[in-house]
């Protein structure tokens, strides 16, 4: 669905007022162009040099300061601020510069300089108009907030997502937004980091008018003439100028924020709430205090690690941009939970998908889940119907012959998968890719009897498909280089993060995760209750404890992967207690059957109200096997570098993002300490804790 919209944008000509291509090339500034039209309205265009999108680097802001000084000396009748890039208005700060700023004393003067420039724009004594298309995020929106009017085109997306980096707005946006629109709505927008489309932005008062590209000049003229009515933030804004009223609202905000993120791990929400609570009645004071608050956050470990995570995501994205997949038609074998949801996701992303299963009810269930996915993503009826039209239930397996990619997603049985490939291969197009969604079977074993193993790869999705961003692109030695490149590009094409991994037992994520889950099971076997075990992991920052996660995955799947890994990595994988087999025989498989380590009701585990204290030694027993497996995978070349591994574990398992990834966390503790603690645990609990040689051969 995004493809046609982007193509339309790429073909669109932007109304850039008096700034012809020649005039822009003659600009004395590297990132900005300025010209006046016949009405003496100045058009100021942002076009960051050597970049596909606009972002606010220090150099971009310094140039803006020079331009505003010039405009103040010779005031135009109005000022239009817009982007010259089709890609959008401005995506915010240049985050790469954040990596260099680790000392609050260094950050504060830079912020003060940036604030002075933004304040100069806000104080300009002529009407100022921001014309917004595409992304207008973070610092980009903060610049737009300095203008008197904001005019948005239909494709505009506006938001302040700094909270996702462990920060809050730092260019005056905290004060300007809470004084422009309903303060509670403004705080919610900043605390969640969500974006608003143009229509919702207009409804909130963030945008003054919605316009089409062809009407830009007319709308600008109306704004400069004062014919566009400004937004009144209403009675609630006036009430919340009082400190007691803000105290009441702040209490509720804290409670809601704490439900989503532990304040001890993620300090930005509390910093933002406190900033508004204490200074929300005085915009100037709030902007001033915003500087110190932002500097404190940016110099802290959480923000630095979350900035690292941002770049880990970008690195994973880049692995999917090296080639054109050429994949427009996908055929999925198996309409179960994974296969059906993979097909749904591909259809949602604009691909034609046929879905084969021998059971009509399985196909019907997949279609029903697809419609539900569309509803959750707030698609309108027309958009939902378009997605469903692209998803074709296929009882006859006819979609194989026309597919660019055929993906198998049947149960983890080697013989079953081999038989499916034997039947499929003669029907495939000459250039079609053949892929498996296996979570654990080495691809060399699956490819043994293929006539053309060069086109065979692994595409291991994670459950739930619509939420989990990572896809392991498993690369058997027999796969052609072109096939691997196309597989990675396909993953990028459907909005997922590809991580290239070798065809080793359990690949990467399951290989690393299983020792962690099994150690939790052994602790449970020793008599430690489930809540205590899970609480230790959650206190560390994991989104779920290991036993709740095992219930979510399914105890049958956990056992199958554990036994496969034990067969191939004998001394590193402990024997599963016999009672776990008994639970499976009784049908206690976890969430899907309503009973596992926990009883499940309405999709939620039933836990005791009291929160048991986390235990440091218990945490090390859980965590160190995971870190040890990470090091083994890096040393053995299952993944090529530490950044890809850390990114995969964050986006594939939810490993505490604020810690920057498992090996990054290990480096912060020190490889020598990790090796010593593993050796001590090995003496006490057995050889499964034996430190991997990589801790000394490749110290973090």
Contacts of 589 (CB under 8 A, 6+ apart): 554, 555, 556, 583, 596
Task: Return d(Cα 53, Cα 9) in angstroms, integer.
Answer: 14
Task: Return d(Cα 106, Cα 394) in angstroms, integer.
Answer: 62
Contacts of 584 (CB under 8 A, 6+ apart): 555, 556, 559
Contact by Cβ (8 Å): 508, 501: yes
Identify the H or E element spanning 618. helix 616-636
Catalytic residue among 63, 142, 237, 289: 142
Contacts of 59 (CB under 8 A, 6+ apart): 30, 31
Catalytic residue among 35, 42, 118, 162: 162
Contact by Cβ (8 Å): 179, 189: no
| Residue 264, phi-psi category: left (phi > 0), alpha (psi -120 to 50), beta (remainder) | alpha
Catalytic residue among 93, 536, 550, 656: 93
Cis peptide before 464 (omega within 30 of 0): yes
Contacts of 25 (CB under 8 A, 6+ apart): none
Task: Return d(Cα 215, Cα 15) in angstroms, integer.
Answer: 9
DSSP, collapsed to helix, strand or coil, labels residue 655 as coil
Catalytic residue among 139, 340, 492, 647: 139
Q: How far is CA 435 from the centre of its chain?
A: 25
Residue that the structure tokens 């979609």 belong to:
399
93 is a catalytic site residue: yes
Task: Return d(Cα 115, Cα 532) in angstroms, integer.
Answer: 48
139 is a catalytic site residue: yes
Task: Return d(Cα 535, Cα 546) in angstroms, integer.
Answer: 9
Catalytic residues: 93, 139, 142, 162
């Amino acid at each position: 669905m995004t493809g046609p919209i982007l193509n339309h944008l790429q073909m669109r000509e932007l109304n850039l007022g008096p700034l012809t291509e020649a005039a822009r090339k003659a600009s004395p500034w590297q990132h900005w162009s300025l010209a006046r039209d016949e009405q003496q309205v100045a058009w100021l265009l942002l076009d960051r040099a050597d970049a596909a999108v606009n972002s606010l680097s220090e150099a971009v802001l310094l140039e803006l300061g020079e331009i505003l000084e010039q405009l103040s000396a010779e005031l135009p009748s109005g000022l239009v601020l817009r982007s010259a890039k089709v890609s959008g208005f401005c995506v915010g700060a240049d985050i790469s510069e954040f990596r260099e700023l680790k000392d609050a004393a260094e950050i504060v003067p830079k912020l003060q300089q940036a604030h002075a420039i933004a304040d100069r724009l806000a104080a300009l004594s002529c009407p100022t108009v921001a014309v917004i298309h595409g992304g207008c995020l973070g610092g980009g929106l903060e610049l737009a907030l300095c203008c008197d009017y904001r005019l948005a085109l239909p494709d505009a997306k506006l938001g302040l997502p700094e909270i996702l980096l462990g920060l809050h707005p730092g260019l005056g946006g905290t004060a300007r937004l809470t004084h422009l629109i309903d303060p509670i709505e403004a705080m919610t927008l900043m605390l969640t980091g969500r974006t608003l489309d143009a229509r919702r932005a207009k409804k909130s008062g963030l945008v003054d008018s919605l316009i089409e590209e062809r009407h830009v000049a007319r709308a600008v003229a109306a704004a400069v003439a004062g014919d566009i009515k400004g937004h009144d933030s209403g009675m609630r804004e006036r009430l919340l100028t009082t400190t007691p009223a803000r105290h009441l609202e702040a209490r509720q905000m804290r409670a809601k924020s704490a439900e989503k993120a532990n304040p001890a791990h993620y300090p930005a929400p509390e910093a933002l709430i406190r900033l508004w609570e204490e200074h929300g009645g005085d915009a100037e004071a709030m902007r001033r205090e915003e500087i110190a608050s932002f500097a404190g956050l940016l110099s802290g470990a959480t923000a630095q690690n979350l900035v690292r995570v941002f770049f880990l995501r970008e690195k994973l994205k880049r692995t999917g941009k090296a080639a054109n997949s050429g994949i427009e038609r996908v055929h999925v074998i198996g309409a179960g939970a994974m296969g059906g949801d993979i097909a749904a996701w591909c259809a949602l992303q604009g691909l034609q998908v046929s879905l084969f299963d021998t059971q009509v009810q399985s196909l019907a269930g997949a279609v029903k889940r697809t419609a539900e996915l569309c509803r959750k993503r707030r698609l309108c009826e027309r958009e939902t119907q378009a997605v469903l039209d692209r998803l074709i239930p296929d009882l006859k397996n006819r979609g194989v012959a026309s597919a660019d990619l055929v993906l198998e997603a049947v149960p983890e049985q080697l013989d079953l998968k081999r038989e499916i490939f034997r039947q499929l291969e003669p029907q495939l197009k000459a250039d079609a890719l053949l892929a498996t969604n296996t979570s654990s079977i080495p691809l060399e074993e699956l490819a043994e009897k293929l006539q053309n193993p060069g086109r065979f790869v692994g595409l291991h999705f994670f459950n739930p498909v619509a939420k989990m961003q990572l896809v392991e692109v498993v690369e058997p030695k027999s796969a052609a280089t072109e096939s691997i490149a196309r597989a990675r590009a396909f993953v990028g094409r459907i909005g997922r993060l590809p991580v290239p991994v070798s065809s080793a037992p359990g690949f990467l994520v399951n290989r690393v995760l299983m020792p962690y889950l099994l150690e939790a099971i052994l602790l449970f076997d020793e008599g430690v209750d489930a809540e205590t075990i899970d609480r230790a992991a959650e206190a560390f920052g994991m989104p779920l404890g290991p036993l709740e996660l095992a219930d979510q995955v399914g105890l049958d799947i956990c056992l199958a992967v554990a036994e496969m890994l034990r067969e191939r990595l004998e001394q590193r994988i402990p024997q599963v207690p016999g009672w776990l087999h008994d639970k499976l025989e009784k049908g206690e498989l976890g969430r899907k059957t309503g009973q596992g380590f926990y009883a499940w009701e309405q999709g939620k585990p039933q836990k005791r109200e009291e929160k048991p204290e986390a235990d440091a030694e218990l945490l090390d027993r859980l965590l160190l096997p995971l870190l040890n497996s990470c090091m083994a995978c890096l040393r053995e070349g299952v993944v090529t570098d530490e950044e890809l591994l850390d990114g995969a574990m964050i986006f594939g398992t939810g490993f505490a993002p604020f810690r920057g990834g498992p090996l990054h966390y290990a480096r912060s503790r020190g490889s020598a300490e990790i090796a010593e603690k593993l050796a001590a645990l090995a003496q006490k609990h057995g050889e499964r804790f034996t430190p991997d040689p990589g801790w000394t051969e490749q110290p973090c």
